[in-house]
Amino acid sequence: MAFAELLKNDAVLKKAYDFAKKAHNRQTRASGEPYFNHPLSAATTIAEEWNFQDPATLAAAFLHDVAEDTEYKIIDIKKEFGEEVAFLVDGVTKLGRVKYRGGESKIENMRKFILAISQDTRVLLIKLADRLHNMRTLQYLPPQKQKRIALETTEIYAPLAYRLGMFRISGELADLAFPYIYPQEQKWLMENVKDKFEERENYAKRVTPIITDELSKNNVPLIEIDYRAKRYASLYNKLLKHEMNLDRIYDLVAIRAIVPTVEDCYAALGIIHKNWQPLPNRIKDYIALPKINGYQSLHTTVFGPESKIMEIQIRTPEMHQVAENGIAAHWAYQNKKEATAAPTKETSWIQKLRNWQSKNIEDLKIDFLKDRIMALTPKGEVIDLPQGATPVDFAYSIHSEIGNHCIGARVNGRIAPLETQLKSGDLIEILIQKNKLPSGAWLSFVKTRHAKDHIRACLRQKKMGLLGHEVTNTELKLIAEDRIGLLHDVTNVIARSHINIVSHQSGFSNKFKVMKLVCNVTDKNKIEKLITKIKTIKGVRSIEHHFV
């Protein structure tokens, strides 16, 4: 159904359309156009480009920026549109808070965060549609933002889309990001690749039915035929492996035919070669000689219609499964064929996502990562914690000093008790006070070993009369009658106690010499013994100490 028609027929959808339009009424995009064009575009992408017409998803797509950017909150959406739509909008809002900051471990955490929030895959679907429109309009943002968002798209969203089997979306996202990350390389590609992406895609679209006709005329059954033009981002990666020599790239246009049997594969190859002249040395028989990873297919490169070079891959459905999902898919396929066992878990959710028109939305839910919590710092960094973790665990994960001086926390903007159990997507702000120290009561609710160890260490030091574990030095203040050799005697005693002097200052107060010695020691017993010894030095009148 066309999206316009769907809008007309679905009252809730129409209501979401009107609600979002009104909520964003006065706002504009960086491009100057009305803000509502953005959620409208996201919803249209999902409904028309991806042909996923679940009303709740489309309503949430309309409303996806309402909670973050307008006066309305999730609670208002729940009131107007119910639990399901509010849940989806809340998920997309939470995803919007995480920000790419570079660094491999951070990227990994960010991916985990997104997967934890996207327990319901529809959340991710809306986020990808949102990102797609943002990438298509990225030219209006300031350069620094462009770069960060482009990197986030390449490092996070394109791989996630790929992993979910959304290959086309993944490729488009990577391609939209590429010029912002590699402007020079993009310029080079635009100058040197003869046929632009769109032209190549049109060509592939034109020749696919011609090949289909030839095969059917010759009675080769065809299960599926597919085409693609190579994207600039993936072309660039391939060129890096081929000394940037474009003449060595043969798959700028590629067609893939899936036929029932191995015999059909060879028959199809023969028909293709009869019609279009193959390039020498480009025929690869990975059926007779599979790749090490189990990959099988026939590959050939031919001068296709209009004498343009294109690559053709021919394989059976089983080989296709292996190529797309890895060798594990082979077993899943075998099992499915024999109907003896369920496919492996991973393959089954990839499958379901691929057929996402499936009515059984519940089945789309991803149930991994369920024992981890992905919480966010105010800067959008992801902190990975175990289930049941509290703001105190969060504080210690950031830094032991933040944990030790933590006095309170804001969870999603509201003051919350330190024993609150965090949820994935919570944004946590830790309140600290420099002179405060951990309480023993924390040990009863913290979840992480890391927090427990630090709290115990800090409590031990507190017991010994130390202020905090950052104390490493003690300042000794001596008052003594001045004499030749006084300083020598004092430093000698300290040295013999195996204590290092960090700094030394002296001056006079009336007739007395005042010495301040900062020593690298915090052990109470050691300090007491040292003081006793110093007091026996001739002329010393008094000695005080404090931790610094």
For Mn ion, which stretch binds (CB under 5 A), given 129-137, 256-264, 285-293, 407-415?
129-137
Catalytic residue among 10, 48, 68, 429: 68
Please give the helix or strand (H or E) that residue 367 lies within, else none.
Answer: none
Q: Of 54 and 130, which CB lies nearer to Mn ion in the complex structure?
A: 130
- Select 65 or 152, whichever has its Cβ closest to Mn ion: 65
**Which tokens go with 457?**
């260490």
Among 84, 130, 175, 381, binds Mn ion (CB under 5 A): 130
* Residue closer to Mn ion (CB basis): 96 or 326: 96
| Binding track, positions 309-348, relative to Mn ion; x by CB under 5 A | ----------------------------------------
The amino acid at 7: L
The answer to whether 68 is a known catalytic residue is: yes
Nearer to Mn ion, 96 or 468 (CB): 96
Instruction: Classify 262 as helix, strand or coil.
Output: helix
**Options 10, 18, 48, 69, the catalytic residue:** 69
With CB under 5 A as the contact rule, which of the stretches 83-91, 123-131, 292-300, 386-394 interacts with Mn ion?
Answer: 123-131
Tokens 């034109």 locate to 206
Q: Which is nearer to Mn ion, 130 or 172 (CB)?
A: 130
Do 176 and 135 contact (CB within 8 A), yes or no?
yes
> Which of the ranges 59-67, 250-258, 274-282, 416-424 carries the binding residues for Mn ion, by CB under 5 A?
59-67
Tokens at 329, concatenated:
């898919």
Least distance (Å) from Mn ion to the CB of residue 149? Answer: 12
- Asked if 426 is an active-site residue, the reply is no
Q: How far is the CB of 64 from Mn ion (least distance, A)?
A: 6
Angle at 104 between CA 98 and CA 108, to 5 degrees: 50
Number of residues that bind Mn ion (CB under 5 A): 2
Residues 231-260 that bind Mn ion (CB under 5 A): none
Contact 428, 422 (CB under 8 A): yes
Cα 36 from Cα 40, distance rounded (Å) = 6
Q: Terminus-to-terminus CA distance in the chain, angstroms?
A: 74
Stretch in the footprint of Mn ion (CB under 5 A) among 64-72, 150-158, 168-176, 518-526 = 64-72
Residue whose tokens read 């290959």: 167
CB atoms < 10 A from the CB of 273, how many?
14
User: Would you say 86 or 515 has its CB closer to Mn ion?
Assistant: 86
Distance CA 112, CA 386 (A): 13
Amino acid at position 445, single letter = F
- Residue 133 CB, shortest distance to Mn ion, in Å, is 7
| Backbone phi, psi, residue 284, to 5° | -120, 125
Q: How far is the CB of 426 from Mn ion (least distance, A)?
A: 21
We find the least distance from the C-beta atom of residue 274 to Mn ion, in angstroms, to be 52
Minimal distance in Å, beta carbon 65 to Mn ion?
A: 4
DSSP state of 246: G
Angstrom CA distances, 155 to 1, 108, 116, 149, stand at 34, 10, 17, 10
Q: Check: CB of residue 465 under 8 Å from CB of residue 497.
A: no
Asked if 65 is part of the footprint of Mn ion (rule: CB under 5 A), the reply reads yes
- What residues make contact with Mn ion under the rule CB under 5 A? 65, 130
User: Active-site positions?
Assistant: 68-69
